[in-house]
């Protein structure tokens, strides 16, 4: 199989190689943005997700729609993937989303599982 995308990543790596390819690289790029609070990155105020700020909101349809909109916004930035579907689950201190993605040039589909937990609540 030919490698289409190649990149660098040190998350969860103790030592080299730090190279990621294809769907693994795309997933890591998405996770980097989802797990960064919007406005947290210096000089990149639009990078990141607002989902962290929604953890304390009421668990209603409005909050779920905001989560879906944020997921669509982030996935829409990447031309390498298309959003197939989003399923959002909320509980007392957790927002979970199952995001089904289609990798455009790889001709494959995969599910990205996201979980945002407010650990400050006891």
Per-residue pLDDT of the chain in tens (122 residues, 90 and over written 9): 556 666 666 666 666 666 666 777 888 889 989 999 999 989 999 999 999 999 888 888 999 999 999 999 999 998 989 999 999 998 878 999 999 999 988 889 999 999 999 876 55
**Domain locations in the chain as residue ranges:** 19-117
Largest interatomic CA distance in the chain? 48
Compute the C-alpha angle 52/69/25, nearest 5°: 75
What's the pLDDT at 58?
85
Compute CA distances 93 → 3, 69, 83, 108, whole Å.
40, 20, 26, 33
Peptide bond into 31 cis (omega under 30): no
Q: Which CATH class is domain 19-117?
A: alpha beta
Q: Is the dihedral of CA 52, 56, 61, 63 positive or negative?
A: negative
What's the pLDDT at 59?
85
């Amino acid at each position: 199989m030919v490698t289409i995308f190649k990149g660098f990543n040190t998350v969860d790596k103790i030592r080299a190689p730090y190279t990621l390819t294809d769907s693994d690289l795309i997933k890591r790029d998405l996770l980097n943005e989802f797990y960064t609070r919007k406005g947290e990155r210096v000089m990149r105020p639009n990078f990141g997700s607002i989902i962290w700020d929604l953890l304390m909101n009421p668990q209603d349809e409005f909050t779920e729609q905001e989560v879906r909109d944020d997921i669509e916004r982030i996935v829409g930035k990447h031309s390498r993937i298309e959003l197939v579907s989003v399923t959002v689950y909320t509980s007392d201190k957790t927002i979970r989303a199952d995001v089904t993605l289609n990798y455009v040039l790889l001709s494959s589909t995969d599910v990205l599982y996201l979980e945002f937990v407010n650990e400050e609540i006891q």
